[in-house]
Amino acid sequence: MDILFDTANLDDIERLTPIYPVTGVTTNPSILKKEGRVDVYKHLRRIREIIGPDRTLHVQVLQKTAQGMIDDAHRLLDKIDDKVYPKIPTTEAGILAMRTLKAEGVHVTATAIYSKTQGFLAIASGVDYLAPYYNRMQSLDIDTKGTLTALSGFIRRFDAPCKIMAASFKNIVQVSHALEAGADAVTLSPKLLRQALSVPDITNAVDTFIADWESVYGTRSLPDD
């Protein structure tokens, strides 16, 4: 299972990567916008430094034509490093860009996925990750779980070297539903993870165990022997 941080915030990535079992970081232009007008390549190289070479870094291209997307992907690989996964929107131009980049041996993440059709086209184009937009699909009344289950079935049936990285989460329930439906990976903001762990019931359970111990032994520590 892959869990990725959907953020470009350096403080969060630096502080939380050692804590959570994250396997990578995803960004897009809207996520980068939250950091202000940063020196974008420097910023992304710093993310790479923090997460190290073994975690994946997914960065979106900006152009809408196939050639523009390919040029953007090359720019990202050149300016950040050759391990970056360019994120290519799954449009008609994007499909051509994906196929061209895969033929060059580049890792590719297909993004902006709302449908099974986009998904199977990206799978057939040989991409490494598919990023279906969980919350945005739900808001359109699309059968999100059914779409993920079908895509996961296609991947298995055709033995495609592709993982589903569900994205666009607005609450933690969507995340577990995506995993139940067949997502191999989920990308979510660190804030969602922290919110999920800071519910009062969890804290209360831990406090009650300590209080029970203390009421018997008069201390909050385990004995040395």
Tokens of 116: 């099974």
Integer Cα distance of 71 and 64 in angstroms: 11
Check if the beta carbon of residue 191 is closer than 8 Å to that of residue 20. no
Asked if residue 28 binds ligand F6P (CB under 6 A), the reply is: yes
Nearer to ligand F6P among residue 24 and residue 182 (C-beta): 24
Which of these, 126, 138, 131, lies nearest to 95 by C-alpha position?
Answer: 126
Helices within 27-65 (DSSP H only): 29-33, 40-51
Among 8, 25, 93, 131, binds ligand F6P (CB under 6 A): 131
Nearer to ligand F6P among residue 26 and residue 152 (C-beta): 26
Which of these, 216, 181, 97, 19, lies nearest to 87 by C-alpha position?
Answer: 97
Q: Can you say how many angstroms the Cα of residue 30 is from the centroid of all Cα atoms in its chain?
A: 14
Among 47, 95, 167, 186, binds ligand F6P (CB under 6 A): 167
Q: Which amino acid is at 202?
A: I
Asked if residue 30 binds ligand F6P (CB under 6 A), the reply is: yes
Tokens of 212: 């029970």
Residues touching ligand F6P, count (CB under 6 A): 14
Asked if residue 187 binds ligand F6P (CB under 6 A), the reply is: yes
DSSP annotation of 64: S
Q: Is 87 a catalytic residue?
A: yes
The residue annotated as part of the active site, out of 42, 64, 87, 116, is: 87
Among 135, 163, 172, 213, binds ligand F6P (CB under 6 A): 135
Nearer to ligand F6P among residue 66 and residue 186 (C-beta): 186
Report, as residue numbers or ranges, the catalytic residues: 87
List contacts with ligand F6P (CB under 6 A). 6, 26, 28, 30-31, 87, 111, 131, 133, 135-136, 167-168, 187
